Amino acid sequence: MPRIRRLPEHEIQKIAAGEVVERPSNVVKELVENAVDAFAKQITVYLEDGGRELIRVVDNGHGMSHEDARLSFEHHTTSKIYGVNDLSSLDTFGFRGEALSSISAVSNTVIVTKDNNSTTGIKLDIQGSVLLQESLVPCPTGTDITITKLFYNIPARKKFLKSRETELRQIQQLLQALSLIQRDIHFKLVHNDKTILNCPVTPTLDSRITQLWDYELARTMLPFKVVDEDKKFVIEGALSHHQYARYDRNLLFFFVNYRWIKNHALARALLKGYQNVLPPARFPAAVISVHIDPTLIDVNIHPRKEEVEFLHPRLVEQLLQNTTKETLQNYLSAHINKSAILLEPAQMTPAPLQKARPSTFDITTTIIGDDPFNPADILMPFAAQKTAEQPHSAYTSAPTIPKPETPEKSSVTQSITPQQQTTQQERTYNIIGQYKTTYILLEQVDGLFIVDQHAAHERILYELFSNRFADIPRVKLLFPHIITLNTQELGVIEPHLSYFAQYGITIEVFGFNQLVVLETPVHFKDHSIEDLVRQTISWIVESSTLPEEQMKTAVTEKLRAQMACKAAVKAGDVLTLQHMQQLLDDLQKTENRLTCPHGRPTGWLLDIHDLEKKFKRKA
Ligand code: ADP
Ligand code: MG
């Protein structure tokens, strides 16, 4: 007897169906996409028990003739293509002609439909691919499909259905996606008789987001649109700004030619655009829509059509990454003039702490050349940022915030350079004082500005270490610090001692299992280097699979952030007025100053208008 046997047709169908419909959300996706393909302007999805009991999709599209309806649930029947060649000019979601047949193979499916040429509609009742009943019914033009008993004949699949909540969440996510991209359709989702999504037709993405997400987020989304150099594709959409972050990726939506897709490379490119803005493991909200010549993509690579393949993926990824970065940068540049510490000259009022503003003051002269205020620098990759072009610049000494305990001992901070004097003339705030020994409160024309002293100082030092390390004043340790390691640890760190040298920490091997720390940056002299060395060893081990250059970048980046964190003033440190002033002056001269290296904001404006509203002084 042969070992190989031919499977019966009904078993083949069930197996094939499993590829297309794994769970209720797949069914909803196929049915709703059919409705969109039929030019429906209103699509309503009814669910019971997260779709496990019932899925019903009602549309007002062009419907089907009686003959088409009978064909629609047969295998490989479609009105959308004639052959594979048509895929290169596809403008419908469906094309394989297998969704209705797959769904009706594993459920009870009732189709009620009528097209404009028919006077009555037709109702077909199908179970396990078998037509149980056919009748004529009165109904409006459009299609109404109800699925019950999903997976009744595949018990294994039914057993693996997720909880009602999980299935519902998937379907909600799907309808959100479809609503975001198909804005000329009124979508409605009703679960157990309760409407949980209702999105009437609306022209703009902006207003769609307002329908779907919370108003506050919608209000701050940044729209963008770019065309690639060769005019082969367009990317458009909206991005959340730097102060919004969430713990999951649920509000990241990617579309290619109106198709909702999953694409890790695109997601990675987007998140790279947010690098240095969001802390690790935090995610933005984004709607990214790519419009591309259909000959440059393959939509037929995934059983449920959830992925597409680009002919030139890197081009799309690179443009997305750059645009994301630029959009955020442009926003910050505009924003900085409004709410950051520096105000527009016109908004400034004389205040007790501040010297008279020179009448020749011109904002444009403060944001060109070597001036670290240049908003264009914000978000630039560190390597690309300007380094100390002028070694005599005031920057060499300015960002040195004395630690609170020993302010007067630090000679570095006492020399006031010409640039510092300018800064004092430009100050547009009064320091109210320190709150909870953690925040510095500033009175500004447009509100109360709150600075997180640790985050701010961390950013100042981080940028100092990154851009001007050659200029960092160092101190030779009077009592060199000895670190004892085991041979394995020493073996790891020894070839990489240059990482430390790069930031002004001189370390040498001493004896057969010890290191000696000879020199550190002035900011760091009071801190234990040992912790830093041990951490660095673990980072090197972690990145040991990377090529040397990448490992160096990864490790030194962490090292720099850690040095900044350790050397920065802490929450709880008492700051004198002089320290606060120094910190704020340094912050003003610092690139990327709106967030700390971990992405937390360094400052926050409590808007005067909001304040006045709270006290009912203004409507
Ligand atoms: P595909 O969408 O790949 O063509 P389906 O199995 O999903 O295959 O649908 C088969 C055919 O049934 C479609 O090509 C379309 O002609 C018709 N059809 C399905 N759903 C609808 C609908 N809601 N309105 C009008 N026609 C539909
Ligand atoms: Mg289809």
Position 354 scores a pLDDT of 32
Q: Which residues contact 600 (CB under 8 A, 6 or more apart)?
A: 279, 452, 455
Q: For residue 97, which atom of ligand 1 is closest to its CA?
A: 8
Cα 465 versus chain centre, distance: 27
Is 70 exceeded by the pLDDT of residue 609? yes
For residue 110, give the H/E element and its range: strand 108-114
Position 18 scores a pLDDT of 66
Nearest residue by C-alpha to atom 14 in ligand 1: 78
pLDDT in tens, 221-247: 999 999 999 889 999 999 998 878 887
Position 273 scores a pLDDT of 93
Q: What are 404's two structure tokens?
A: 């609170």
Residue 164 · residue 172 · CB < 8 Å: no
Position 347 scores a pLDDT of 35
pLDDT in tens, 426-448: 667 899 999 999 999 999 888 89
Is 80 exceeded by the pLDDT of residue 188? yes
Count of Cβ atoms closer than 10 Å to residue 247 Cβ? 8
pLDDT band at 468 (very low <50, low <70, confident <90, very high): low
Mean pLDDT of 487-506: 86
Position 125 scores a pLDDT of 97
Q: What amino acid occupies position 608?
A: I
13 alpha carbon – ligand 1 mean position (Å): 18
Residue 108 CA to residue 113 CA, distance in Å, equals 16
Nearest residue by C-alpha to atom 16 in ligand 1: 79
DSSP class of 154: -
- Which residues are registered as beta bridge partners of 46? 56, 190
Is 70 exceeded by the pLDDT of residue 571? yes
Nearest residue by C-alpha to atom 17 in ligand 1: 72
Is 70 exceeded by the pLDDT of residue 358? no
Is 60 exceeded by the pLDDT of residue 387? no
pTM of the predicted model as reported, rounded to 2 decimal places: 0.59
pLDDT in tens, 119-175: 999 999 999 999 999 999 999 999 999 999 999 988 877 877 877 787 888 899 999
Position 408 scores a pLDDT of 34
pLDDT band at 525 (very low <50, low <70, confident <90, very high): low
Residue 541 CA to residue 531 CA, distance in Å, equals 16
Is 70 exceeded by the pLDDT of residue 348? no
77 alpha carbon – ligand 2 mean position (Å): 10
pLDDT band at 335 (very low <50, low <70, confident <90, very high): low
Question: Sign of torsion, CA 568 572 577 578?
Answer: negative
Q: Which residues contact 59 (CB under 8 A, 6 or more apart)?
A: 35, 38, 40, 42, 43, 44, 142, 143, 144
Is 70 exceeded by the pLDDT of residue 396? no
pLDDT in tens, 556-566: 888 888 888 88
- Which residues are registered as beta bridge partners of 476? 519
Ligand whose nearest atom lies closest to the CA of 57: 1
Is 80 exceeded by the pLDDT of residue 319? yes
Residue 16 CA to residue 97 CA, distance in Å, equals 13
Ligand whose nearest atom lies closest to the CA of 81: 1
The share of the chain scoring above pLDDT 90, in percent, equals 37
79 alpha carbon – ligand 1 mean position (Å): 7
Position 503 scores a pLDDT of 85
Position 350 scores a pLDDT of 31
Position 115 scores a pLDDT of 96
306 alpha carbon – ligand 2 mean position (Å): 13
Residue 143 CA to residue 69 CA, distance in Å, equals 10
Ligand whose nearest atom lies closest to the CA of 299: 1
pLDDT in tens, 200-213: 999 899 899 988 88
Mean pLDDT of 101-130: 95
82 alpha carbon – ligand 1 mean position (Å): 14
pLDDT in tens, 36-74: 999 999 999 999 999 999 999 999 999 999 999 999 998
Q: What residues flank ligand 1, with Cβ below 6 Å?
A: 30, 34-35, 38, 59, 61-64, 72, 77-80, 94-101, 143
Q: For residue 57, which atom of ligand 1 is closest to its CA?
A: 23
What's the mean pLDDT when you consider all of the chain?
80
Residue 209 · residue 251 · CB < 8 Å: no
pLDDT band at 605 (very low <50, low <70, confident <90, very high): confident
The share of the chain scoring above pLDDT 70, in percent, equals 82
Nearest residue by C-alpha to atom 20 in ligand 1: 34
pLDDT band at 380 (very low <50, low <70, confident <90, very high): very low
For residue 414, give the H/E element and its range: none
Nearest residue by C-alpha to atom 23 in ligand 1: 35
307: three-class secondary structure by DSSP:
coil
Residue 426 CA to residue 80 CA, distance in Å, equals 66
552 alpha carbon – ligand 2 mean position (Å): 50
Ligand 1 pocket test: which of 71, 100, 115 has the largest number of ligand atoms within 8 Å of its C-beta? 100
57 alpha carbon – ligand 1 mean position (Å): 13
Position 604 scores a pLDDT of 87
Angstrom distances, CA of residue 581 to CA of 407, 423, 545, 558: 13, 11, 45, 28
Is 60 exceeded by the pLDDT of residue 386? no
Residue 584 · residue 341 · CB < 8 Å: yes
Mean pLDDT of 555-579: 89
Mean pLDDT of 589-611: 85
Sheet architecture: strand order including 42-48: 130-137, 121-127, 108-114, 142-148, 54-59, 42-48, 186-191, 194-199
Which class for 365: exposed (0-12), middle (13-18), buried (19 or more C-beta within 10 A)?
Answer: exposed
Position 201 scores a pLDDT of 95
Residue 39 · residue 32 · CB < 8 Å: no
Cα 364 versus chain centre, distance: 32
